């Protein structure tokens, strides 16, 4: 026992004499990126990247008025993607830290040329984030990256919040708008939809005095549509409203918003608890894509003057179902005409078994002959607090 104790004591003394390892980096030694933007210089074809760096001084409890800018944007330009991070040391007084940035933006021109080299570079990084949202901008990237955003003062986090809020409110942006979602379709015929962000207003406000302006819409970042990607290349774009229907058909919309007109009166409906079933079948030798959608409806606004009855609720659901079917068929036909395989039909046909499918597989672009058959099953479960609307007053003049 004494010998064991002596060995333990000697070991403890030796350990106390050793120099400890210290690899921690203090926060004030790091330049923490919250948002990154990329583009190609059209004249020199050099790589340009904007790093939006979080300013810790703006969030310190004892911060003075001198550090109220929540972020600073730095521009770095180089011949290759690999040297950009190294070149940042010539400009940034702190070590660049990109492990936790929120969002990445590319220009529309860059996206239309193809993002293959960008995706290969990103996937090669050991610290890459699979949940990183990827955006396309149709505004000058320098203006977008120089924009102070009110309320949510970190633009990278603002963009993530816009995706989440839009998905929950209208279903017009899919949560599958990440870098990983684009990468997964690189070897597929299925197209990818990524959100388009635009600067609202002509020019950004470059001073932190922006936060003292009550106008929240002025010089702010907003979602305006969705970019259509075939593999790594942007081939078109659609409006947010159109993208909502595409998400609905793909089963990527848990919620949905639409307005109908019933007897010249507007009824706004919010659909939730949405379930989508899809099946590709053959009918008389032709492919048919069957989509069945069930949804629970809530009346957000009802401008009808009559008391709600079971018959009236039935008319509302019938009109809602009809509008979704007609609009889906119209937008589907437009996508087929443009040869946009938004739903992966070509791959679906390719991997089907059976003699009938083999004939289609031997035909070029056979998927473009696929017919859409949509079935909508909705029911109103929330009508609000009143059944019989008020009838006094001038209203909206429709009497």
Chain segment 296-334, per-residue pLDDT in tens: 999 999 998 888 999 999 999 999 999 999 999 999 999
Average pLDDT over residues 8-17: 63
Is residue 7 very low, low, confident or very high in pLDDT (cuts 50, 70, 90)? low
Place of tokens 């911060």: 63
DSSP string, 63-79: --GGG--SEEEEEEEES
| Per-residue pLDDT tens digits for 140-158 | 999 999 999 999 999 999 9
Nearest to 258, CA basis, from 227, 224, 300: 300
- How much is the average pLDDT of 329-344? 95
Residue 17: pLDDT band by 50, 70, 90 thresholds? low
- The C-alpha atoms of residue 103 and residue 145 are separated, in whole angstroms, by 12
Q: Once rounded to an integer, what is the mean pLDDT over residues 279-285?
A: 92
Q: Which of 335, 368, 104, 109 is nearest to 234 (CA)?
A: 109
Res 80: pLDDT:
87
CA distance 28 to 35: 19
Query: What is the mean predicted confidence (pLDDT) over 259-286?
Result: 94
More confident call, 203 vs 291:
291
Q: Is 277 exposed, middle or buried (0-12, 13-18, 19+ CB in 10 A)?
A: exposed
The pair of three-digit structure tokens given for residue 298, joined into one six-digit string = 């809530």
Give the pLDDT band of residue 24 (cuts 50, 70, 90): low
For residues 35 and 42, what is the distance between their CA atoms, to the nearest angstrom? 23
Residue 6: the pLDDT is 66
Contacts of 360 (CB under 8 A, 6+ apart): 287, 349, 352, 366
Tokens 């949905």 belong to 256
Summarize the confidence of residues 355-376 as an average pLDDT. 92
CA distance 116 to 108: 14
**Confidence class for position 213, pLDDT limits 50, 70, 90:** confident
Mean pLDDT of all residues belonging to the chain: 89
CA distance 161 to 175: 11
| Residue 89, token pair as written in the block | 């040391």
pLDDT score recorded for residue 2: 65
- The length of the chain in residues reads 399
Of all helices (H) and strands (E), which one includes residue 326? helix 310-337
Question: pTM for this one?
Answer: 0.87
pLDDT of residue 394: 58
- The residues that bridge with 48 in the sheet, in sequence order, are 39, 77
Tokens of 9: 């004591």
Which residues sit opposite 271 in a β-bridge?
256, 297
Q: Among candidates 147, 127, 128, which has minimal Cα distance to 137?
A: 147
On the question of pLDDT at 99 being above 90, the answer is no
Pick from 109, 111, 107: nearest CA to 142: 107
Burial of 51 (0-12, 13-18, 19+ CB in 10 A): buried
Of 140, 143, 162, nearest in space to 151 by CA: 162
Neighbours of 23 (CB within 10 A): 4
Asked if 376 and 293 count as a contact pair (C-beta separation under 8 A), the reply is yes
What is the percent of the chain with per-residue pLDDT over 90, rounded to a whole number?
63
**Pair 67, 57: CB distance under 8 Å:** yes
Lowest mean pLDDT among 181-185, 208-212, 312-316: 208-212
From residue 111, how far is each of 225, 296, 369, 391 by CA, in Å?
Answer: 15, 38, 29, 54
Q: And the tokens for 132?
A: 């990183």
Question: Can you tell me whether residue 362 is helix, strand or coil?
Answer: coil
Residue 349, token pair as written in the block: 């046909």
Q: Which residue stretches of 101-239 are H helix?
A: 108-113, 116-124, 141-145, 155-169, 179-184
Q: How far apart are CA 178 and CA 23, in angstroms?
A: 32
pLDDT at 121 over 70: yes
> Among 166, 169, 164, which Cα is nearest to 133's?
164
β-pairing, 265-283 vs 286-302, is antiparallel
pLDDT(131) > 90: no
Q: What is the pLDDT of residue 154?
A: 93
- Long-range CB contacts (< 8 A, 24+ apart) of 357-366? 357/282, 359/285, 360/287, 365/339, 366/287
């Amino acid at each position: 026992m004494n010998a064991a104790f002596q060995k333990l004591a000697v070991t403890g003394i030796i350990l106390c004499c050793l120099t400890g390892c210290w690899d921690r980096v203090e926060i004030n030694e790091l330049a923490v990126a919250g948002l990154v933007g990329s583009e190609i210089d059209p004249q020199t074809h050099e790589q340009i990247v904007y790093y939006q760096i979080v300013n810790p001084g703006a969030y310190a409890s004892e911060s003075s008025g001198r550090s109220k800018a929540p972020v600073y944007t730095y521009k770095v330009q180089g011949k290759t993607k690999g040297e950009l991070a190294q070149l940042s040391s010539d400009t940034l007084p702190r070590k660049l830290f990109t492990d936790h940035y929120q969002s990445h933006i590319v220009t529309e021109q860059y996206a239309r040329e193809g993002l293959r080299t960008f995706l290969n570079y990103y996937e090669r990084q050991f610290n890459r984030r699979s949940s990183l949202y990827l955006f396309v901008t149709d505004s000058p990237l320098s203006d977008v990256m120089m924009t102070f955003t009110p309320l949510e003062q970190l633009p990278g986090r603002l963009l993530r919040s816009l995706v989440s809020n839009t998905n929950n409110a209208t279903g017009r942006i899919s949560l599958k708008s990440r870098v990983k979602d684009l990468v997964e379709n690189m070897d597929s015929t299925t197209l990818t939809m990524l959100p388009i962000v635009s600067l609202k207003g002509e020019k950004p406000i470059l001073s932190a005095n922006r936060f003292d302006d009550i106008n929240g819409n002025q010089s702010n970042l907003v979602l305006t549509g969705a970019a259509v990607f075939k593999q790594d290349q942007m081939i078109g774009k659609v409006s947010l409203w159109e993208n909502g229907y595409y998400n609905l058909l793909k089963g990527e919309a848990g919620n949905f918003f639409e307005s109908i007109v019933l007897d010249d009166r507007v009824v706004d409906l919010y659909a939730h608890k949405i379930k989508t079933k899809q099946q590709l079948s053959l009918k008389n030798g032709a492919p048919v894509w069957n989509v069945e959608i069930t949804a629970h409806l809530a009346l957000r606004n009802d401008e009808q003057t009559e008391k709600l009855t079971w018959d009236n609720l039935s008319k509302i659901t019938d009109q809602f179902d009809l509008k979704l079917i007609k609009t889906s068929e119209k937008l589907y036909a437009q996508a087929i005409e443009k040869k946009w395989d938004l739903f992966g039909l070509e791959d679906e046909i390719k991997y089907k078994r059976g003699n009938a499918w083999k004939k289609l597989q031997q035909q070029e672009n056979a998927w473009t002959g696929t017919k859409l058959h949509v079935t909508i099953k909705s029911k109103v479960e929330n009508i609000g607090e009143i059944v019989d609307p008020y009838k006094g007053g001038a209203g909206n003049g429709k009497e």
